[in-house]
C-alpha cells in the first residue's frame, strides 16, 4: 500500500497507536465504554458504524474550500464499504 493513505480501525487504541509506521490515522470503533462481552457481540455493528463515520469525515474533508472535487455525502445506512482486514496488527492497536 505504499503511497496510499491508510486508516486503521480498532476496538480501542493503546498508547502509541497514532505513531504506527504506515498508518496515517487510527480510530477506535466503540462510541462509548462498554463491557468486552458487549463489544464482541456488537463487533460487526460497531465496525460498520465506525467505518461510516470515518468515511463521512473523509468525504467532508474532500468538500472543504480549496478542493476541486466535491463528493456527495452518502445516505445514512447506504451500506458498508468493502473492508479489508490484515492478519497482523501492531501491539499498540488493541
DSSP readout, 20-87?
A: -TT-SEEEES-SS---HHHHHHTHHHHHHHHHHHHHHHHHHHHTSTT-S--PPPPPTTS-PPP----S
pLDDT of residue 3: 81
pTM listed for this prediction: 0.63
pLDDT of residue 74: 54
- Sites in the chain below the pLDDT cut of 50: 78-94
pLDDT of residue 25: 92
Amino acid at each position: 500500500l505504499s503511497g496510499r493513505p491508510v486508516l486503521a480501525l480498532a476496538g480501542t487504541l493503546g498508547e502509541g497507536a497514532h505513531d504506527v509506521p504506515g498508518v496515517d490515522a487510527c480510530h477506535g470503533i466503540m462510541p462509548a465504554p462498554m463491557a468486552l462481552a458487549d463489544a464482541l457481540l456488537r463487533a460487526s455493528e460497531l465496525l460498520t458504524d465506525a467505518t461510516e463515520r470515518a468515511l463521512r469525515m473523509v468525504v467532508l474533508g474532500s468538500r472543504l474550500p480549496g478542493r476541486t472535487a466535491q463528493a456527495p455525502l452518502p445516505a445514512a445506512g447506504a451500506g458498508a464499504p468493502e473492508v479489508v482486514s490484515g492478519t497482523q496488527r501492531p501491539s499498540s492497536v488493541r
